């Protein structure tokens, strides 16, 4: 039997062996599933394996984030279904990660537009605000990064660890202001979420946390189970922290073409009656069952979509769920809605910070964890109070 020398060393230092079982990573077609299939994916989660392997690229993560981001399911459903099958102790890590999402959304509810600017600290050592060309072209020379960068641009899937590496390299090794790269990644991600994406980039860039995140080649090799050496990232952490922007990351893309085809009919001139006004982040089928006599409409706010464009695979995902709901799509401005309201339409919508300026009566969103009683600036302060 041949023994991979890398793994013999890892076993000695106690690292997890490569997964022999397949991770739950969905095939590209799986994103076009039904709600029953999504719920059955939740029921298949093994929280213990999740805990042991989530940091590895082939780990047993849930890949549920596109459904959570678009409100097809919510964190409360995920948490309660998993807790109904497994002891609470076994679910700790998964609940902890679900809490990260809720933390970002509570921050957004509270700090509103402020989350789109440096939150607590100014980003240090910034040289430019333009994304490195090698990131966009997936040509950094680091194999695992380039593969991940190609995949996210083709399909929209990207593991958390890869996102951390990409953001750490862009912000803290290529000394780039976090905003444009965050917008670039949001465009490609299938789960692009304004709060989770923006605040994760801020956490990595050190503008919402006490230090900047960086990872070196050794870290990449461990969590991707690869064995690349002699790269510009193959240095110790002291060297990495003091390193000038590597040659391969110096060339920048000064303007990125965010192509998108926005679906939807113009908002009609008149509409009498009650309308459940849904956003891109609120595609849950439950609401349909609760309010069957109301006309459900997906409203796409043009101005918002121009500010936060999304790639075609994301639009295909959204339209698939719109199709499942069997609802119409309107696209226009908030003034169009105000005009309809003045003409007798009655809107009802779910709370969501990006839609705070939309008309209508607002109902609460579901969260698994409560609102902390005391102030919190960091996730640990949040978690201490809600867990």
Ligand X SMILES: Cc1cc2nc3c(=O)[nH]c(=O)nc-3n(C[C@H](O)[C@H](O)[C@H](O)COP(=O)(O)OP(=O)(O)OC[C@H]3O[C@@H](n4cnc5c(N)ncnc54)[C@H](O)[C@@H]3O)c2cc1C
> In this structure, is the dihedral angle defined by the CA atoms of residues 344, 345, 348 and 354, taken in order, positive or negative?
negative
| Lookup: tokens for 165 | 């590496």
Among 101, 106, 252, 368, binds ligand X (CB under 6 A): 101
Among 53, 69, 74, 153, binds ligand X (CB under 6 A): 69
Among 38, 42, 57, 61, binds ligand X (CB under 6 A): 61
Between 193 and 336, whose beta carbon lies closer to ligand X? 193
| Binders in 15-54 for ligand X, by CB under 6 A | 54
**Count of residues engaged in binding ligand X, rule: CB under 6 A:** 28
| Lookup: tokens for 378 | 């960091």
Between 168 and 360, whose beta carbon lies closer to ligand X? 168
Between 65 and 208, whose beta carbon lies closer to ligand X? 65
Euclidean distance between CA atoms 189 and 154, whole angstroms:
10
68: contact with ligand X by CB under 6 A: yes
Among 33, 53, 62, 153, binds ligand X (CB under 6 A): 62
Report in angstroms how near the CB of residue 182 gets to ligand X at its nearest: 7
Between 177 and 337, whose beta carbon lies closer to ligand X? 177
Distances (CA, A) of 1 to 9, 132, 183: 17, 44, 48
| Binders in 80-99 for ligand X, by CB under 6 A | 97-98
Q: Are 172 and 213 in contact (CB under 8 A)?
A: yes
Report in angstroms how near the CB of residue 107 gets to ligand X at its nearest: 11
Among 64, 82, 215, 276, binds ligand X (CB under 6 A): 64
Euclidean distance between CA atoms 73 and 173, whole angstroms:
37
Which of 243, 284, 236, 227 has its CA nearest to residue 75?
Answer: 284
Residue 128 φ/ψ region, left for φ over 0, alpha for ψ in the -120 to 50 degree band, beta for the rest: beta
Euclidean distance between CA atoms 69 and 94, whole angstroms:
17
Euclidean distance between CA atoms 1 and 311, whole angstroms:
46
| Binders in 144-183 for ligand X, by CB under 6 A | 159-160, 163-164, 167
Report in angstroms how near the CB of residue 199 gets to ligand X at its nearest: 8
Between 159 and 296, whose beta carbon lies closer to ligand X? 159
DSSP string, 206-246: TSSSSS-----HHHHHHHHT----SSTT-S-HHHHHHPPPP
170 secondary structure, DSSP code: I
Report in angstroms how near the CB of residue 342 gets to ligand X at its nearest: 36
Euclidean distance between CA atoms 174 and 160, whole angstroms:
20
Which range of residues in 56-64, 257-265, 302-310, 335-343 is near ligand X by CB under 6 A?
56-64
| Binding-site string for ligand X from residue 179 to residue 218, where x marks contact by CB under 6 A and - marks none | -------x--x-xxx--xx--xx--x--------------
Among 33, 53, 57, 63, binds ligand X (CB under 6 A): 63
Burial of 378 per CB tally in 10 Å (0-12, 13-18, 19+):
middle
Euclidean distance between CA atoms 284 and 273, whole angstroms:
21
Q: Are 360 and 287 in contact (CB under 8 A)?
A: no
Among 100, 299, 376, 383, binds ligand X (CB under 6 A): 100
Between 94 and 345, whose beta carbon lies closer to ligand X? 94
Report in angstroms how near the CB of residue 42 gets to ligand X at its nearest: 10
Strands 273-278 and 345-350: parallel
Report in angstroms how near the CB of residue 308 gets to ligand X at its nearest: 11
Q: Which residues bind ligand X (CB under 6 A)?
A: 54, 61-65, 68-69, 97-98, 100-101, 104, 159-160, 163-164, 167, 186, 189, 191-193, 196-197, 200-201, 204
């Amino acid at each position: 039997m041949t023994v991979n020398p890398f793994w013999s060393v890892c076993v000695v230092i106690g690292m997890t062996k490569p997964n022999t079982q397949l991770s739950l990573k969905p095939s590209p077609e799986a994103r076009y599933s039904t709600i029953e299939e999504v719920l059955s994916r939740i029921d298949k989660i093994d929280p213990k394996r999740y805990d042991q392997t989530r940091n590895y690229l082939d780990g047993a993560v849930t890949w549920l984030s596109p459904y959570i981001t678009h409100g097809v399911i919510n964190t409360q459903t995920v948490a309660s279904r998993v807790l109904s099958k497994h002891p609470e102790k076994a679910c700790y890590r998964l609940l902890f990660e679900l809490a990260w999402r809720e933390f970002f959304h509570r921050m957004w509810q509270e700090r509103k537009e402020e989350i789109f600017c440096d939150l607590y600290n100014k980003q240090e050592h910034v040289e430019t605000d333009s994304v490195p060309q090698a990131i966009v072209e997936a040509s950094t020379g680091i194999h695992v990064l380039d593969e991940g960068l190609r995949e996210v641009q083709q399909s929209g899937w990207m593991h958390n660890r890869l996102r951390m590496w990409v953001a750490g390299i862009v912000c803290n090794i290529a000394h780039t202001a976090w905003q444009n790269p965050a917008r670039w990644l949001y465009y490609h991600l299938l789960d692009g979420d304004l709060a989770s994406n923006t605040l994760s980039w801020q956490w990595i860039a050190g503008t919402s946390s006490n230090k900047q995140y960086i990872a070196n080649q050794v870290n990449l090799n461990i969590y991707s189970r690869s064995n690349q050496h002699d790269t510009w990232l193959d240095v110790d952490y002291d060297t990495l922290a003091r390193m000038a922007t590597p040659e391969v990351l110096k060339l920048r893309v000064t303007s990125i073409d965010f192509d998108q085809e926005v679906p939807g009919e113009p908002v009609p001139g008149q509409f009498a009656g009650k309308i459940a006004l849904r956003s891109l982040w609120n595609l849950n089928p439950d609401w349909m069952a609760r309010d069957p006599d109301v006309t459900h409409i997906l409203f796409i706010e043009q101005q918002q979509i121009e500010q936060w464009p999304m790639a075609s695979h994301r639009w295909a995902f959204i339209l698939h769920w719109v199709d499942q709901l069997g609802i119409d799509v309107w696209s226009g401005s908030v003034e169009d809605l105000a005009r309809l309201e003045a003409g007798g339409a009655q809107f009802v919508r779910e709370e969501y910070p990006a839609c705070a300026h939309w008309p209508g009566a607002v109902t609460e969103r579901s969260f698994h964890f409560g609102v902390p009683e005391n102030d919190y600036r960091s996730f640990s302060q949040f978690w201490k109070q809600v867990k």
